[in-house]
């Protein structure tokens, strides 16, 4: 007997899977190409990124067991900043000799920055902001547990009116869910001072990435992929915006 012909529904489902696969194949190479190109171009804009992997490695080794414990007891691997991103943040802080950093979206990075700052021989200001007061208190509890300062934690709705635009050498933008993150993008970028850096996390999500890039590039802001430096096992990665000196 000849095999039974597939039903219209099965044919439609198969066609949909083929189209979806082709769509992903169209998108992935484009982002991968940009990541390779930007990996070279970004060093011209941020020279400290040249060979920064060697400085990231010891940070990653030290952060990894803490990250495992943090994700087990406090956060969640999907929501906590990756070891890769956090190691880059710390390496950049060292290479650029930053004095002030702000973590939008409190959590593991907030701990790592304060732990690092406490060991430096110069004063470094670290602020953390969250759109959730409940989560901010979890961050505070973790900082207290690990004997780190918790006096610069803010709820976004209150912080946004403090007039701190242009105050920070480094801004890590990882605030809230993706809709919120896009809504406050301009305000987040404006927190960086001239010559500073803005890191945008979770740029693996194409809806957010496409909107964020389109918005910033329409404003004449340069943005570079850091996929080769920050891609983690969950496929997350970051982009960077170097703020011009003037």
DSSP code per residue over the chain? -PPPPPPHHHHHHHHHHHHHHHHHHHHHHHHHHHHHHHHHHHHHH-GGGTTTHHHHHHHHHHHHHHHHHHHHHTS-TTTSPPHHHHHHHHHHHHHHT-SEEEEES-SHHHHHHHHHHHTSSS--EEEEEES-HHHHHHHHHHHHHTT---TTEEEHHHHTTS--TT-EEEEEE--SSHHHHHHTHHHHHHTEEEEEEEEE--TTSHHHHHHHHHHHHHTT---EE-HHHH--TT----EEEEPP--
Nearest to residue 75, comparing CAs of 102, 114, 111? 111
pLDDT tens over the chain, length 246 residues: 444 555 655 655 555 554 444 444 444 558 889 999 999 999 999 999 999 999 999 999 999 999 999 999 999 999 999 999 999 999 999 999 999 999 999 999 999 999 999 999 999 999 999 999 999 999 999 999 999 999 999 999 999 999 999 999 999 999 999 999 999 999 999 999 999 999 999 999 999 999 999 999 999 999 999 999 999 999 999 999 999 997
Q: Identify the pLDDT of residue 32.
A: 87
**Residue 4: beta bridge partners?**
none
Alpha-carbon dihedral angle through residues 36, 42, 48, 54, given to the nearest 10 degrees: -10
Query: What does the block give as tokens for 214?
Result: 């389109």
pLDDT at residue 103, rounded to an integer = 98
Confidence (pTM):
0.87
Tens digit of each residue's pLDDT (9 = 90 or more) over 88-108 = 999 999 999 999 999 999 999
- Residue 35: half-sphere exposure toward Cβ, Cα within 13 Å: 19
Looking at domain 39-242, its CATH superfamily turns out to be Vaccinia Virus protein VP39 (3.40.50.150)
- How many residues are recorded in the chain? 246
pLDDT at 98: 98
* Nearest alpha carbon to residue 111 among 164, 78, 73, 55: 73
What integer best gives the mean pLDDT of the chain?
91
């Amino acid at each position: 007997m000849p095999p039974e012909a597939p039903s219209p529904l099965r044919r439609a489902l198969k066609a949909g899977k083929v189209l979806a696969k082709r769509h992903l194949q169209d998108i992935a190479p484009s982002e991968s190409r940009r990541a390779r190109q930007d990996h070279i171009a970004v060093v011209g804009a941020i020279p400290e990124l040249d060979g920064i992997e060697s400085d990231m490695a010891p940070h990653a080794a030290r952060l990894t067991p803490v990250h495992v414990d943090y994700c087990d007891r406090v956060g969640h691997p999907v929501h906590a900043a990756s070891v890769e991103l956090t190691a880059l943040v710390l390496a950049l802080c060292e290479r650029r000799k930053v004095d002030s950093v702000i973590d939008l979206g409190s959590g593991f990075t907030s701990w790592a920055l304060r732990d690092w700052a406490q060991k430096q021989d110069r004063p470094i200001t670290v602020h953390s902001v969250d759109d959730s007061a409940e989560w901010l208190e979890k961050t505070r509890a973790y900082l207290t547990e690990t004997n780190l300062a918790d006096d610069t934690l803010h709820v976004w709705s209150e912080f946004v009116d403090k007039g701190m635009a242009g105050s920070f050498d480094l801004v890590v933008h990882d605030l809230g869910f993706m809709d919120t993150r896009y809504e406050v993008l301009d305000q987040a970028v404006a927190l960086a001072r001239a010559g500073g850096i803005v890191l945008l996390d979770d740029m693996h999500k194409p809806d957010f990435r496409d909107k964020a890039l389109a918005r910033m590039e329409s404003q004449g802001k340069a943005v570079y992929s850091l996929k080769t430096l920050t891609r983690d096992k969950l496929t997350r990665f970051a982009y960077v915006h170097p703020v011009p000196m003037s």
